[in-house]
């Protein structure tokens, strides 16, 4: 049963599976405000689908790339008022990914191509990440003069530990799937031809268990760590960075393809 929440996000119920697809392939699925609103609506619907017998949510993307991250054109258009008071913007995005993390359904994220920045933060909010061979992951925000602020620092530390989280965040480098699998950043890697069979195996394993036990087990594991303080710290740390000259120049350089730039530290 298809029922698109937005042209940018497609939702489909197929038996036990509720599927959410990022659908902006012409822009490498870059995430903008409209997409975030549609993702929030999709996971509101996921709760209704859970009540109606859905057992697993699968997040995937149309095209060759999962997502290049946040829409840089939207970034460049941020007005001065927003730069001076970033907390509402950050909190709104954090709330969307919190919906994914708190979803009553177990959520599998299927990654292909690149999964960068905000897109990796989305994947981190999911319960499982499975990837197609040759995908690459990264949090390049520090190369724009900012940091991940939509749960990226908090969830990454919980998942792979502080030393590896610092490696990924402070360098802004991308990593391949061999390293991601070794670190526990992804759960499984499949050749492209075997991907759908791999997804089916995960769905079968999750649906073999009692749905309420899966849902409450997920909640118990998630609640072992209180994210609320970490999310507040992310927003606090990001606020001065959004106002920095380094950030303004880096966004322009990325759009003009004149990167790298000489950082001024201000």
* Catalytic residue (one of 19, 101, 121, 234): 121
pLDDT of residue 245: 79
Q: How confident is the model at residue 6 (pLDDT cuts 50, 70, 90)?
A: low
Q: Rounded to 5 degrees, what are φ and ψ at 18?
A: -110, 115
Tokens linked to 261: 């730039």
Q: How confident is the model at residue 223 (pLDDT cuts 50, 70, 90)?
A: confident
At residue 53, does pLDDT exceed 60? yes
129 three-state secondary structure: strand
pLDDT (tens digit per residue) in 14-49: 999 999 999 999 999 999 999 999 999 999 999 999
pLDDT of residue 175: 96
Average pLDDT for 164-181: 96
84 in catalytic set? no
pLDDT of residue 248: 75
Global pTM value: 0.88
> Which has the minimum average pLDDT: 43-47, 63-67, 205-209, 253-257?
253-257
Distance between CA atoms of residues 61 and 69, nearest Å: 12
234 in catalytic set? no
Average pLDDT for 256-263: 71
Residues 6+ apart with CB under 8 A from 266: 244, 245, 246
pLDDT (tens digit per residue) in 132-151: 999 999 999 999 888 898 98
At residue 1, does pLDDT exceed 70? no
At residue 155, does pLDDT exceed 80? yes
Average pLDDT for 72-87: 68
- In this structure, the strands spanning 188-190 and 128-132 are parallel
At residue 2, does pLDDT exceed 60? no
Distance between CA atoms of residues 85 and 164, nearest Å: 31
* Catalytic residue (one of 19, 49, 101, 141): 141
pLDDT of residue 256: 73
Q: Of all residues in the chain, what percent carry a pLDDT higher than 90?
A: 69
Q: Match 């929440």 to its residue by tokens.
A: 5
The CATH number corresponding to 9-212 among 3.90.226.10, 3.30.70.3280, 3.40.50.300, 1.10.3720.10 equals 3.90.226.10
CA-nearest of 249, 229, 241 to 84 is 241
pLDDT of residue 163: 97
Residue 5 or residue 225, greater confidence: 225
Residue 226 or residue 71, greater confidence: 71
């Amino acid at each position: 049963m298809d029922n698109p929440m937005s042209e940018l996000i497609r939702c489909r119920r197929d038996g036990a599976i509720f599927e959410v697809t990022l659908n902006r392939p012409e822009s490498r699925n870059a995430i903008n405000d409209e997409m975030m609103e549609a993702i929030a609506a999709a996971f509101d619907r996921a709760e209704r689908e859970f009540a109606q017998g859905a057992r697993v949510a699968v997040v995937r993307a149309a095209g060759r790339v999962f997502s290049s991250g946040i829409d840089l054109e939207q970034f460049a258009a941020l007005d001065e008022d927003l730069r001076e008071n970033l907390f509402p913007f950050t909190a709104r995005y954090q709330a969307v990914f919190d919906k994914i993390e708190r979803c009553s359904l177990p959520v599998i994220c299927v990654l292909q191509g690149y999964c960068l920045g905000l897109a990796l933060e989305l994947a981190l909010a999911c319960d499982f990440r499975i990837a197609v061979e040759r995908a690459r992951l990264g949090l390049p925000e520090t190369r724009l003069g900012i940091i991940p602020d939509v749960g990226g620092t908090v969830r990454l530390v919980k998942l792979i530990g502080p030393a590896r989280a610092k490696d990924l965040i402070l360098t802004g480098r991308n990593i391949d799937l061999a390293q991601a699998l070794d670190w526990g950043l992804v759960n499984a890697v499949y050749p492209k031809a075997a991907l759908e069979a791999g997804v089916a195996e995960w769905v079968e394993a999750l649906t073999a268990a009692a749905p309420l036990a899966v849902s409450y087990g997920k909640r118990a594991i998630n609640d072992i760590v209180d994210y609320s303080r970490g999310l507040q710290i992310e927003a606090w740390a990001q606020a001065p960075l959004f106002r920095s000259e380094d950030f303004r120049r880096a966004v322009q350089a990325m759009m003009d393809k004149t990167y790298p730039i000489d950082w001024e530290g201000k």
